[in-house]
Chains A and B, each alone.
Chain A
């Protein structure tokens, strides 16, 4: 090395070190600050967590939670180990509730519309002003004798907030309180009513069953009470010394639950009811049913021979016979019908067919079968509520000008109803809309006034889980943190409205706030119910225990009382032919199955980044939407993995990437529900598509449930780049020998050797 070069290197070294030193000095972050409390809050030790027992409201299952709070901030949510519904477990949606609380897109205070409706222009106002605007509007209605023009629409609330709103409405003089959600299990409730006389959802005792026949019930991710049922499933498979139970999943598209099953029966969409009745036919024909009315069952089911059913359902007659035999001979067994089933046009009848199966095998009211829940602590739902609450009726009343003022809370019907309902247009016809939503969603955008409510971690409330677990369960919700923004509890808003209105309503709801109302209501339950009061000396002691445990529940084993289904009752409700699908078969050759996404459910979870990041359990797709197509079908249509395709129904088309999926019938395609929000904050907006838009308006006349699986579609390849984002998952083994196989002959040879 030359001397000059050496000096150059040395020079650059010195300059480098010097600049590094100086840079380090200049850019070093100023010392972190150590901020003391001014006055320390009681019972807070910095660095030590306080846990509050409360309620999860991310879906309608009603799980109990524990919220970890440090220095006044909620940090983590866990399942409440004492709670009978989720037994200390929690699903992904429950975990993500934290991100609803601290979501940057929350509405931070009351607002009044200033621009055109739907323009999104709002002005911040004070709570006093907001309440008085709505109060004035309602007094005006009252003066004009038009109190019936007030409509209130909420999610399917079950606790005392529900009672409060009902009291408000009845004393104000309006019968128009409605509840609406996309997955509200109305067909299931109605099917139970017509077949078992039960106006409720029973507990499905999966934990203790040994043969589970599931018709499209994806209980591992979304159906009814997923945490409870998944836990039950774990018990059934490997609980203690009992023999491992069998799961048979009947569904055209393989769900997460189906992927865990011993047998997947890819039935033709819409024929599950016929299949169920054919299994029932085999039970009766095989003489397994010993009831006195066996002959009338035989007569009712005579048209459902396996040979006939095989042609309709594309399931082998032999297989039907086999399932029937296993189902009735394995004790105890259980048949369940899920969202996929109830989403057909005659979903209600299909669910009745499932109930018939349970009756014929003697599963109703038995351990390991269908376990009706005892009457709840609150008065249950009434039949009229079921009949009256339908979203199409609301749209119609709005169009006809009957809806003068609408208050919406915790539900987003503009997103969750097919375009054909024309709800948005109908809402434009409503003179005044107030939304109590914490987020700007598609429905709230129609509001003239926004009174943002607390999220579940800031609010008081309670819930009476349905389905429960065969025992009475009540869960209390208490604020784990103080409100992050200038919001109020929904109950408080109704009470302050009552105060503003005065008169009869003001008298009826003369409470300081919702917490007082809640506590008073519980005082009544305590006074009227010996079982609840047992073990507590005073109400205050009882109340403290409620807060500490997160609620009250029976701890004994459920009592079993067999129930039956009679031919007379179900005769008019059984499915006679496959469910109908719209769209001409020639033009629209494929069935469309839509299903709730494991994270977003009906779309409500789409604004939580954790859920957006969570890969779908079956496809590993993140962030977007996709359409599942069988590789055979795709090959025929020239579609490759990730291609952009148009899915077109008679009601419109959506563009989304293709996902080639072996777990779906070649004549069926599937699209998850939940994405495609126009509004709902930065994480949800303009991501994927909303398949509900292209669904027909098919409402069951009896139950009011919207049929989601009721149209056929056609596919067309649009381009190469559908922007499918998925985790690296391969379905091939690549010679790694993950699944070991041997031929039957080889197996016999080895087995023979071992015996010898």
Chain B
């Protein structure tokens, strides 16, 4: 083999492995527990105080998205509850500056997937099935891979009607 051929082979191997590395990094080393602008604890809210999920994520039953609580709703309680804690002070700042809180998305689906919360709630699924043991998490961690295989395994197990049809999610 002459040198050129060898070099080309090296390059090909490098490119292919680069792709593999990139994929692996994406799948296994992505930040599943991102820091949030306010150290909001689901454990305190949903766990200790047992506030139902849909009190704050109020659109889940009615819409594609579950919705994040509007800032007014947060401040509604926290003008009375623990108004002096440093994290609540951050909330107060946002509210007073009339700025929304820039939460970091933990569960992010690409645009070519149509995922309606509404249907899954109607089907009787618990939020925890996909979002994990939220009531014991201080900072939210993504517990599901959100890969297509993960969706399909559940659709298959539960014998969802048209659940394996491409058009069910990719519309």
A binds B: yes
Q: Does A24 interact with chain B (Cβ within 8 Å)? A: yes
Q: Does A751 interact with chain B (Cβ within 8 Å)? A: no
Q: How many residues of A are in contact with the other chain, CB < 8 A?
A: 32
Q: How many residues of B are in contact with the other chain, CB < 8 A?
A: 45
Q: How far apart are the CA atoms of A39 and B6 in the complex, in Å?
A: 64
Task: State whether A36 and B69 are in contact (beta carbons under 8 Å apart), knowing that A16-B18, A20-B19, A23-B22 are contacts in the complex.
Answer: yes
* A34 with B10: CB separation less than 8 A: no
Q: Among residues 391 to 446 in chain A, which have CB atoms less than 8 Å away from a CB atom of chain B?
A: none
Task: State whether A36 and B101 are in contact (beta carbons under 8 Å apart), knowing that A21-B29, A46-B63 are contacts in the complex.
Answer: yes
User: Among the interface residues A5, A22, A32, which one has the most CB atoms of the partner chain B within 10 A?
Assistant: A32
Task: Please name all residues of chain B whose beta carbon is closer than 8 Å to the beta carbon of A14 when the two chains form the complex.
Answer: 17
Contact with A along B20-31 (1 / 0, CB 8 A): 111111100111
Task: Please name all residues of chain B whose beta carbon is closer than 8 Å to the beta carbon of A16 when the two chains form the complex.
Answer: 13-18, 20-21
Task: State whether A33 and B22 are in contact (beta carbons under 8 Å apart), knowing that A16-B17, A38-B70, A38-B72 are contacts in the complex.
Answer: no
Partner of B25, one of A13, A15, A24, A35: A24
Closest chain B CB from A5 CB (angstroms):
7
Task: Please name all residues of chain B whose beta carbon is closer than 8 Å to the beta carbon of A9 when the two chains form the complex.
Answer: 9-10, 13
Task: Please name all residues of chain B whose beta carbon is closer than 8 Å to the beta carbon of A36 when the two chains form the complex.
Answer: 67-71, 100-101, 103
* B64 with A48: CB separation less than 8 A: yes
Q: Among residues 219 to 244 in chain A, which have CB atoms less than 8 Å away from a CB atom of chain B?
A: none
Total A-B contacts with CB atoms under 8 angstroms apart: 129
Q: Does B126 interact with chain A (Cβ within 8 Å)? A: no
Q: How far apart are the CA atoms of A86 and B1 in the complex, in Å?
A: 72
Q: Does A381 interact with chain B (Cβ within 8 Å)? A: no
Task: Please name all residues of chain A whose beta carbon is closer than 8 Å to the beta carbon of B30 when the two chains form the complex.
Answer: 28
Q: Among residues 33 to 74 in chain B, which have CB atoms less than 8 Å away from a CB atom of chain A?
A: 34, 59, 62-65, 67-72
Q: Does B162 interact with chain A (Cβ within 8 Å)? A: no
Closest chain B CB from A392 CB (angstroms):
53
* A38 with B65: CB separation less than 8 A: no
Q: Does A31 interact with chain B (Cβ within 8 Å)? A: yes
Task: Please name all residues of chain B whose beta carbon is closer than 8 Å to the beta carbon of A23 when the two chains form the complex.
Answer: 18, 21-22, 25
Closest chain B CB from A389 CB (angstroms):
50
* A39 with B102: CB separation less than 8 A: no
Task: Please name all residues of chain B whose beta carbon is closer than 8 Å to the beta carbon of A33 when the two chains form the complex.
Answer: 102-105
* A47 with B64: CB separation less than 8 A: yes
* B17 with A13: CB separation less than 8 A: yes
Q: How far apart are the CA atoms of A293 and B13 in the complex, in Å?
A: 94
Q: Does B99 interact with chain A (Cβ within 8 Å)? A: yes
A-B contact pairs, 7 of them (CB 8 A): A8-B6, A20-B25, A23-B22, A24-B25, A32-B105, A32-B108, A47-B63
4 nearest A-B residue pairs (beta carbon): A20-B21, A24-B25, A16-B17, A47-B64
| Chain A residues at the B interface, C-beta cutoff of 8 Å | 5, 8-9, 12-25, 28, 31-40, 45-48
| Chain B residues at the A interface, C-beta cutoff of 8 Å | 1, 6, 9-11, 13-26, 29-31, 34, 59, 62-65, 67-72, 95, 98-106, 108
